[in-house]
């Protein structure tokens, strides 16, 4: 997955600006996409990040056996 590969190369953190560039989309679309990813539990906001410096990380869930 492109998103996963690019985040790994960016210290496991995503910003709206990075997502916009990776997805080749507009800022409003990037913000909506990130909100959807947050709502789905795919990413989580990094504690201590806020405002224009909000960072996100991929949520890794273990599969149950």
pLDDT in tens, 24-56: 999 999 999 999 999 999 999 999 999 988 999
- Structural domain that includes position 25: 2-58
Residue 6 belongs to some domain of the structure: yes
Helices (H), the chain: 2-8, 16-23, 27-40
Q: Provide the domain count of the chain.
A: 1
Specify if 20 maps to a domain.
yes
Instruction: Please indicate, yes or no, if residue 63 is contained in any of the structural domains.
Output: no
Q: What pTM did the predictor assign?
A: 0.73
**Is residue 5 over pLDDT 60?**
no
**pLDDT exceeds cutoff 70 at 8:** no
For position 38, which CATH number holds?
Answer: 1.10.10
Return d(Cα 42, Cα 8) in angstroms, integer: 15
> Which pLDDT score, from 0 to 100, does residue 3 have?
54
Report residue 60's pLDDT band, with 50, 70 and 90 as the boundaries: confident
Structure tokens, 40: 């789905």
In a domain, 65, yes or no: no
């Amino acid at each position: 997955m492109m998103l996963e590969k690019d985040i790994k190369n960016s210290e496991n953190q995503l910003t709206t600006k990075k997502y916009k560039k990776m997805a080749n989309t507009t800022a409003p679309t990037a913000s909506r996409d990130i909100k959807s990813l947050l709502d789905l539990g795919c990413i989580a906001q990094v504690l201590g990040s806020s405002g224009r410096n909000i960072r996100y990380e991929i949520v890794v869930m273990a599969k149950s056996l």
